[in-house]
Structure 1
Amino acid sequence: MGMRVGRWLPVAGALASVLALAAVSAPGEARAETGRCGDPAQRPWCDPSLTPDQRTGLLLPEMTADEKIAMLAADDIFGGPLGGYFETAHADTNNGIERLGIPPVYMADGPAGVRQGKATALPAPIALAAGFSRETAKLYGGTVAWEARHRGNDVVFGPTVDVLRTPRNGRTFEGFGEDPYLSATLGVPWIKGAQSQGVMTAVKHMAVYAQETDRLELNMKVDPRTLREIYLPPFEAAVKQGGAATVMCGFGMLNGRWACQDDAVLNKILRSEWGFKGWVASDHFAPKDAAEAANGGLDMELPVGLRYNAFLLKMAVAQGKVTQATIDGHVANVLRTMFKAGVFDRDAYPNDLTRIDRTASETAARKIEEAGITLLKNDGALPLKAPKSIALIGRAAQKSPSGHGSAQVVPFTAVSPQEGLARRAGAGARITHDNGDDHGAAAERARQADVAIVFATDSQGEFFDKSCLTLECGEPLRGDQDGLISEVAAANPNTIVVLNTGGPVLTPWAGQVKGIVQAWYPGQEAGNALARVLYGDVDPGGRLPVTFPVDESDAPASGNPAQYPGVDKTVTFSEGVMVGYRHYDSKGIAPRFPFGHGLSYTTFGYSDMAAGTEAVQVTVTNTGQRTGTAVPQLYIGMPSPGGSVVQPPKQLKGYTKVTLAPGESTRVTFPLSSRSFAYWNEGAKAWKVASGCYQVMVGSSSRAIAQTGTLGTCG
């Protein structure tokens, strides 16, 4: 059993000592199982017929002061920032208390798949968001948790539901895009799918996490309305509707309060207002002060107890800075959550790769990618009509790009686009490849083919934001990708561009090519999924969860350093609620491709909209010649209750996804509640519904509205 860093660490911040002492539990070393709860006759808290609160109430008084503190921090530095890259190591570990039958808890990174040695590399979460499908989100969470469970984990760190503020954000690929409603409604089924596998989820990063630049020290100034309407709804839904077992607080400060020490958010909103009963875990090394974290609502420090250790917490209690009741409350939150999740009452999950059903996981990865591949432009080039020769241009044709950082997954296997397309095209077609380094050579290869497909990539991930939105900024080692696309398009009129990016990029060549396919970071089934979509075996199922701008300066939080990247490590969210497409709509800026946009291989009509306060209905009809997938979207334009409360022209309030045969119609319903019409009233500190006229809009994107109506008092 590894040494208990959380018990004995004598000096806060002594990272070198922690590294040396934690080395007694080396990565990959087999841990001795400490056993499970035990005999209820000897340990009454082991009785599963009691409620989690009753069991916690019986166990807590039996714990020593040191044992309580040991439950409030993870124990293994190698199970922290480095652990996920080792074959058997967990991301974090709390060793439990063997004397009392408290089992260890093992944790894994998991927003895009399990980061623990090799695993199934699922498409990036932004691709899931593009699927606009609650069912697919449930499949995604369930797949991650199934693999996490069979790697011996009790907790998976995911989903990431941070609302995208700027497309330069290095972790754009890791979240669900720019709309809080979409993030919330995908996060909930993700969590339910994961926890149905017996694994606890840790939704992250509460409360505002908007950029990588200066993330460890950044102070984010956000007004209460913007916080409530944009950044908190995904977390509120995760707790209230999804039942998330744990919540991870992030880095930086919100209005001068460190995220993992924020009493206003963690205690008052999360626990008192939303009724959260689980535990709050820190992002790695995020807490700054032991007493302030304890009083501010943090239950468990990761990856080790730099702040939450016996020396600092006992001293804080002795000095009257923290009450023993506060310490006990944090321990109770951890124990209660473990009892509720059944951790005490089951055998430890085996860390055994052979138990993972890789066929099921690979199928899930392919289906998720197919559902998220987004057809941005199509001038008749797609679906492919059995071309005899295809020229593939770009390095990404032979790999599956991914984001880097804690969401990066080492795949079991990977099917490249070249492999998938060659298999689908069959022996009768000639598939050639050029890496695109020499534009002239690439153009010549394209000229000799029936169809040219150019693969363009960016590079993003944790720790660094993108310096700009061009392909060159995102992938400096690839050279001039925009120029490459233009030269290939000039050489072959049947040029298609496949974008493997983690978010929006500029597309100055959009008018020069026949087709544009946004395939995101596609996961290990990249080639199979792309081939099926390009050949029309399945309809491209994706719609944009983010807006693509025409120009760099069009993007939100552009051109004002106080908004981004900040001045003196302070960022002011002066745009308020005008985030994402709300920004473009409010300023009258035409995007290159709007939020919600995505083409099918067929066409759809919308008719007979009926709007009510409890639901909006509309008939969707396939008006084309092929079976295809429609994603009808409901937007509401709300009245401004006063001069100081400016509303966006429209807000997403519903969506669904339907597959229809040619000529087939279906009636879809968008359920509504009072919250659908509410805004955050800062004076009342409550959600309020303003009187006035509400515009109701249904269409295929935020800029393609097919049916309109009104509700409320309209003159």
Structure 2
Amino acid sequence: MRRLGGTLAVCALAALSSAVPAAATGRCGDPSTRPWCDTSRSPDQRAALLLGALSQDEKVSLLGGNDFQGGINSGPDIHTGQSPAVDRVGLPSVYYSDGPLGPRQGPATAMPAPMGLAATWDPALASAAGAVVGNEARSKGNDAVFAPTVNIMRTPLGGRTFEAYGEDPHLVSRLTVQWIRGAQSQGVMATVKHFAANNQEGQDPSGQAGRPGSPLGAGTVGSRYIHDSVIDERTLHEVYLPQFESAVKEAGSAIVMCSYNRLNGAFACQNRQLLEDILRRDWGFAGYVLADYGAAHDTAGNLNGGLDFEPWPPWAYTPTQIDAALASGQASPATVDEHVRRILRTLFAFGFFDRPAYRNDDAQIDKAAHAATVQHIEESAATVLENRGILPLDAGRLHSVAVIGKPATSFVTGGGSGNVTPFDFANPLSAIRQRVGPGVSVSYDDGTDPARAAGIARGADVALVFAADYETEGSDRGCLSLECPDQGNQDGLIDQVAAAQPNTAVILETGGPVLTPWRDRIKGLVEAWYPGEQGGLALARVLFGDVDPGGRLPVTFPDREADIPTAGDPQKYPGVDNEVTYKEGVLVGYRWFDARGLTPAFPFGYGLSYTHFGFGRLQVGAPGHGGAQPVSVEVTNLGGRPGVAVPELYVGAPPGSPVAEPPWRLAAFARVPLAPGARRRVTLEVGARSRRFWDAATHGWRDLPGCLPVAVGASSRELALRARLCDRSASAPGRRRARCRRPTLRFRIHSLAGSPIVRVLVYVNGRRVRTVRARRITRVVVRRPGRTAFRLRLVDVSRAGRRRVTVRRYRACTKTRPGTRHPGGRRG
């Protein structure tokens, strides 16, 4: 009966085909016998045809992975995950690879840590990084890559801080979008992770599990596997979800990985509100959801909650367990069908069937080009935090340099799924020797004996001390000093070297913020992050001024550990009885420091150049379509060297705000290279979302009233230029009601990711009032519902099945004077 039903479904859908089907050029097969191989059909049509051809057992098999080894081992021929094939219908296996810092499948190009990429404040470099990782994942025979990691840094103690892009939702979102676009431009499917609120790994009371060399940490207190992130609705939507929303709606991420933790009671991988209501209904996600490894707990709960695929190991989605859930009525065959359809539709949409299988062959990789990209990213990421005249170094005036510390000769990176074995490694010591040439003596000490290292430093012209932390998946750091985990007394080493040599600069290779109690006793401080395989060459060029250090902090460096948002309250972190309460609300990172009047060691957005910049002549433009508003600033290089300026725009809380707002929120930024003396006017666009807050009472976005303060400067604590941002629709005090004009609103409808819009759903105040259907919709007319204020929501559905949601709010209006003309609303 199952096979007969599938055959009838195939025949019914095949009748819709054209007389001459278009054959796929890849692995699918002949469309005359396999109609789902007809490339003239939409992904939805092809998925429906293939779904109808599958037996029930075959459908069930597609929901769970079949490779145990890849989740625990790494090797040239070991993929991180694999799905079963169904040869009978021409459905090959899908291969997955880890990838936040590069494929974890034998040697690969080791990228700078994503935190370092975030320090570039450069979406174009994020795209380049994504393209490198995507290309290598493809060249190693993979169809999808488990990246990017986009969780907000709620606490700098987090073990996976290095894997993500920092503490600000806007910065993280901008980098996320471009990384995904870069990766997917290479023909692989990106997997944005970890959805959602996976912001800690758990504390390890022993302090031993998260040491270098451990394959994975084991934080047992507040463990990521079981803790419940308790977050109010507004904080969730304003801080912890925006980057995922951008990944789905702007970048078109193929896959979303749900996280281990609970979110407001329910495990993320069976959280229907998260996976079905927010992700699919509100954001229009058309891809599929897979579980982090071991994050599926309850077969029926996962099936009904929105989980489509469990890659490794199939604990909840084994055929036996799924069949039992179906037999008991806990889940329905229709639910299984929907999960399989989502997977198939995504594979068709990304051309999986219509191309040859990717070969696993490292010879395809342009290693030299990828290494050059790594070096460029690290040069742009290196962030100078202190410079009292020591940098850049002048090799022509030096006779001797002392290089101190193990990181000067070691490849430094984090642990877990981001631990990549590099194709090549250019260590800082060798690069410095190469840069200064044979005329300068370069001595080295690994720093294990601070007194000995201080003696070597004392006899040199300058000392360069390299120090590092270690972060790893699975457990959080025990403290923010360089001694957690214990890699020797690096703080003591820096103190002794600085006491012996007044010309000392420290180069940090860390995954995130660390304490710097010795910063006033040294002349220079450079944060290099985990710099990737070409980190040594990049750092030598930065230290000797061959390039301007381009980095700006994507995180706040605290003066004291007691100042961070989660300090001093176990309910906040690591949690009590596995419940972690986000009491700080939207005050994350620099917002917390600003709101509490705390002075950080180094503020968010901060970083020094080898030149000086001036910002001036701030201008606010009129709002455009969609509510975006341009703000322009004149940026001038006032020094004698070329450099990179990063003007940062923040919006403040308006007077009379109905909710508590942080003093400032990042809303826009730009990266501006300038020659000496050059001047450029830079336009920063403030999006409509920056003018809104999430209203928990109405479960939607609301405009902030009146005019918002706006400020531009070099960091979150250096905002010299101020203005006001007033939207025409803002309800500023004393503003008169708008006049009603024509009773209709007109909207232009554009295609979505190259696919025409075939259906538009129109909602007024939450109620559907109209559905428009056509082969290609280019314009929609909506009748205004009287003169009262109302909320309009348009849901565009493309032929490829993707959705775009647009929300507009209209103020109440008065009766129009005779003869008033209305040009009609437009949506860009």
Q: Distance in 2 between matches of 1:362 and 1:233?
A: 32
Q: Distance in 1 between matches of 2:88 and 2:725?
A: 63
Structure 2, unmatched stretches of 5+, are: 1-25, 203-222, 624-628, 727-731, 735-828
Structural mapping, 1:53-72, within 5 Å:
53-72=44-63
Q: Distance in 2 between matches of 1:166 and 1:640?
A: 30
Structural mapping, 1:251-270, within 5 Å:
251-270=260-279
2:37 aligned with 1:46: yes
Q: Distance in 2 between matches of 1:473 and 1:75?
A: 38
SS of the equivalent of 2:431 reads helix
Structure-2 residue corresponding to 1:142: 131
**Counterpart selection for 2:72 from 68, 75, 82:** 82
Does structure 2 conserve the Cα–Cα contact (< 8 Å) formed by 1:493 and 1:513?
yes
Q: Look up the equivalent residue of 1:705 and give its one-letter code.
A: L
Structure-2 residue corresponding to 1:305: 314
State the shift of 1:547 in Å: 0.3
Q: Distance in 1 between matches of 2:238 and 2:653?
A: 13
**Counterpart selection for 1:413 from 421, 424, 433:** 424
Q: Distance in 1 between matches of 2:697 and 2:499?
A: 59
Structure-1 residue corresponding to 2:694: 680
State the shift of 1:642 in Å: 5.3
Q: Distance in 2 between matches of 1:711 and 1:521?
A: 38
- Could you report, residue by residue, the CA deviation over 1:356-394 in whole angstroms, capped at 9, with x for unpaired residues? 110011011111111111001101100001122110011
Does structure 1 conserve the Cα–Cα contact (< 8 Å) formed by 2:258 and 2:289?
yes
Structural mapping, 1:304-383, within 5 Å:
304-383=313-392
- Could you report, residue by residue, the CA deviation over 1:174-204 in whole angstroms, capped at 9, with x for unpaired residues? 0000011111100000000000000000000
State the shift of 1:49 in Å: 1.3
Does structure 1 conserve the Cα–Cα contact (< 8 Å) formed by 2:152 and 2:240?
yes
Q: Distance in 1 between matches of 2:541 and 2:83?
A: 44
State the shift of 1:711 in Å: 2.4
State the shift of 1:692 in Å: 2.7
Structure-2 residue corresponding to 1:468: 479
2:219 aligned with 1:228: no
**Counterpart selection for 1:447 from 438, 445, 458:** 458
**Counterpart selection for 1:631 from 626, 637, 646:** 646
Structural mapping, 1:195-274, within 5 Å:
195-213=184-202, 214-274=223-283
Structure-2 residue corresponding to 1:36: 27
Structure-2 residue corresponding to 1:110: 99
SS of the equivalent of 1:497 reads strand
- Could you report, residue by residue, the CA deviation over 1:593-614 in whole angstroms, capped at 9, with x for unpaired residues? 0000000000000011012441
State the shift of 1:309 in Å: 2.1
**Counterpart selection for 1:423 from 397, 416, 434:** 434
Structure-1 residue corresponding to 2:159: 170
State the shift of 1:304 in Å: 3.0
Structure 1 range deviating more: 680-689 or 35-44: 35-44
Q: Distance in 1 between matches of 2:535 and 2:100?
A: 18
Structure 1 range deviating more: 47-56 or 313-322: 313-322
State the shift of 1:472 in Å: 1.1
Q: Look up the equivalent residue of 2:630 and give its one-letter code.
A: A
**Counterpart selection for 2:446 from 435, 438, 449:** 435
Q: Look up the equivalent residue of 1:403 and give its one-letter code.
A: G
Structure 1, unmatched stretches of 5+, are: 1-34
Does structure 2 conserve the Cα–Cα contact (< 8 Å) formed by 1:680 and 1:686?
yes
Structure-2 residue corresponding to 1:21: none
Q: Look up the equivalent residue of 2:565 and give its one-letter code.
A: P
SS of the equivalent of 1:288 reads coil
Does structure 2 conserve the Cα–Cα contact (< 8 Å) formed by 1:633 and 1:698?
yes
Q: Look up the equivalent residue of 2:82 and give its one-letter code.
A: T
Q: Distance in 1 between matches of 2:197 and 2:46?
A: 34
Structure-1 residue corresponding to 2:141: 152
Structure-2 residue corresponding to 1:512: 521
Q: Look up the equivalent residue of 1:52 and give its one-letter code.
A: P
Structural mapping, 1:568-607, within 5 Å:
568-607=577-616
Does structure 2 conserve the Cα–Cα contact (< 8 Å) formed by 1:162 and 1:204?
yes
**Counterpart selection for 1:294 from 300, 303, 318:** 303
Structure-2 residue corresponding to 1:615: 630
Q: Distance in 2 between matches of 1:640 and 1:266?
A: 36
State the shift of 1:641 in Å: 5.5
SS of the equivalent of 2:419 reads coil
Q: Distance in 2 between matches of 1:309 and 1:503?
A: 39
**Counterpart selection for 1:391 from 402, 410, 413:** 402
Does structure 1 conserve the Cα–Cα contact (< 8 Å) formed by 2:618 and 2:633?
yes
**Counterpart selection for 1:696 from 703, 710, 722:** 710
Does structure 1 conserve the Cα–Cα contact (< 8 Å) formed by 2:667 and 2:687?
no
Taking structure 1 as reference, are residues 95 and 544 closer, same or farther at Cα in structure 2, changes over 3 Å only? Answer: same
Structure-2 residue corresponding to 1:458: 469
Does structure 2 conserve the Cα–Cα contact (< 8 Å) formed by 1:638 and 1:693?
no
Structure-1 residue corresponding to 2:739: none
Q: Distance in 2 between matches of 1:268 and 1:654?
A: 29
Q: Distance in 2 between matches of 1:240 and 1:515?
A: 43
**Counterpart selection for 2:576 from 567, 572, 581:** 567
State the shift of 1:640 in Å: 6.5
Q: Look up the equivalent residue of 2:170 and give its one-letter code.
A: Y
SS of the equivalent of 1:345 reads coil
Larger Cα-atom Rg: 2
State the shift of 1:552 in Å: 1.1
SS of the equivalent of 2:41 reads coil
State the shift of 1:44 in Å: 0.5
Does structure 2 conserve the Cα–Cα contact (< 8 Å) formed by 1:126 and 1:520?
yes
Q: Distance in 2 between matches of 1:407 and 1:398?
A: 20
Q: Distance in 2 between matches of 1:301 and 1:96?
A: 15
State the shift of 1:481 in Å: 1.1
Q: Look up the equivalent residue of 1:282 and give its one-letter code.
A: A
Taking structure 1 as reference, are residues 174 and 714 closer, same or farther at Cα in structure 2, changes over 3 Å only? Answer: farther
Structure-1 residue corresponding to 2:747: none
Structural mapping, 1:473-552, within 5 Å:
473-474=484-485, 476-478=486-488, 480-552=489-561
2:64 aligned with 1:73: yes
State the shift of 1:714 in Å: 8.2
Q: Distance in 1 between matches of 2:465 and 2:493?
A: 8
State the shift of 1:316 in Å: 1.4
Structure 1-normalised TM-score?
Answer: 0.93
SS of the equivalent of 2:148 reads strand
Q: Look up the equivalent residue of 2:653 and give its one-letter code.
A: M
Structure-2 residue corresponding to 1:661: 675
Q: Distance in 2 between matches of 1:210 and 1:401?
A: 23
Does structure 2 conserve the Cα–Cα contact (< 8 Å) formed by 1:88 and 1:117?
yes
Q: Count residues with an aligned counterpart.
A: 676
Structure with more contact order per residue of length (Cα contacts < 8 Å, sep ≥ 6) = 1
- Could you report, residue by residue, the CA deviation over 1:135-173 in whole angstroms, capped at 9, with x for unpaired residues? 000000000000000000000000000001000001110
Q: Distance in 2 between matches of 1:551 and 1:638?
A: 27
Does structure 1 conserve the Cα–Cα contact (< 8 Å) formed by 2:505 and 2:522?
yes
Does structure 2 conserve the Cα–Cα contact (< 8 Å) formed by 1:693 and 1:714?
no
2:110 aligned with 1:121: yes
Q: Look up the equivalent residue of 2:671 and give its one-letter code.
A: K
- Could you report, residue by residue, the CA deviation over 1:225-276 in whole angstroms, capped at 9, with x for unpaired residues? 0000000000000000000000000111001110100100100000011000
SS of the equivalent of 1:659 reads strand
Taking structure 1 as reference, are residues 714 and 634 closer, same or farther at Cα in structure 2, changes over 3 Å only? Answer: farther
- Could you report, residue by residue, the CA deviation over 1:88-134 in whole angstroms, capped at 9, with x for unpaired residues? 11000012211000121000000111110110111000000000001
